[in-house]
Amino acid sequence: MRWLKISFITLLFAITAAKASDDEVHLAVSTTIQSPLDIICAKFSQTTPYRCKMTTAPTGHLYAHVMHGMAYDLFLSSDVEYTQGLINANKVDPLSRIVLAMGKIVLWSADKTLDPQVLKNKLLHEPNAAIVLANPGASSYGAAAKEVLQKYDLWAHIQGRLIYARNIRHTYELIESQKASLGFVSLAQLSADERAKHHYWEPDPKSYKPVVHEVVTLRHPQHPKATAAFMAFLKSSQTRQILQDAGFEHGAGCKI
């Protein structure tokens, strides 16, 4: 009888845990879009019976997780090549793939007295000004910064001025700590106050390939109802506003 009671309690606990788990969507989120996703997840939990469990890391790390069988429901990437790699490996559902947002790069300095034109002049005309950017081989934002420098015919001439950061977050940290006088960061990394006061120089968006943040569902999501609900929420006007407020251009949920 005691064994039966323990077994019943164990079974009841397992059912309760499974139910709680069914209410949760597990997200693999690129660190470059983490801040607005925190807000989106909070709003999602307030307006639906579901909640988010978020794992954040550079897109390349998350890609490796999925390739090795990590049980995520959704993959939120900042690099289309990684998403395509998962499609080629049959790890995700290609029909679910949508653009969530478009990232923008800006030239920024921790010196708040510099206006956009001064920043641009420092880039173009000051031979001793160190410039930091994320590693172009590992970061879509770094690759975009390289394209801008090539567009202005600077890339070949400023190699001695360049500092390569591990990723876009590290780029911001190096500039903020003034280990570099200026560099290319994501507009979304700047505070709302900095964006409002325009403490940055924004290159012509046509001078680099768009930094695409996209979403795709894993081939066999563990929590299909919560996953479907979250995908629908990502296409909502509420999500669009959150992304725009954070410095992104909303992707309108359009297909790749």
What is the rounded average pLDDT of the residues 171-189? 91
Identify the pLDDT of residue 255. Answer: 54
The architecture CATH gives domain 25-102+210-250: 3-Layer(aba) Sandwich (3.40)
Considering only CA atoms, which of 230, 234, 208 is closest in space to residue 221? 230
**Is the pLDDT assigned to residue 18 strictly greater than 50?**
no
Report whether 56 belongs to an annotated binding site: no
What is the rounded average pLDDT of the residues 196-211? 89
Tell me if 114 sits within 8 A of 200, measured CB to CB.
Answer: no
Count how many Cα atoms sit within 13 Å of the Cα of residue 252 in the half-sphere of its side chain.
3
Q: What is the pLDDT of residues 30-76, one digit of tens each?
A: 999 999 999 999 999 999 999 999 999 999 999 999 999 998 999 99
Tell me if 140 sits within 8 A of 78, measured CB to CB.
Answer: yes
Considering only CA atoms, which of 255, 253, 237, 249 is closest in space to residue 43? 237
Q: What is the pLDDT of residues 81-127, one digit of tens each?
A: 999 999 999 999 999 999 999 999 999 998 888 888 888 888 888 87
Fold annotation for 105-201: D-Maltodextrin-Binding Protein; domain 2 (3.40.190)
| The model's pTM | 0.82
Is 105-201 in the same CATH topology as 25-102+210-250? yes
Parse the chain into domains and list their residue ranges: 25-102+210-250, 105-201
What is the rounded average pLDDT of the residues 177-190? 91
Identify the pLDDT of residue 250. Answer: 77
Residues with Cβ within 8 Å of residue 10, at least 6 apart in sequence: none
**Is the pLDDT assigned to residue 12 strictly greater than 60?**
no
Identify the pLDDT of residue 21. Answer: 64
Identify the pLDDT of residue 79. Answer: 92
Report whether 168 belongs to an annotated binding site: yes
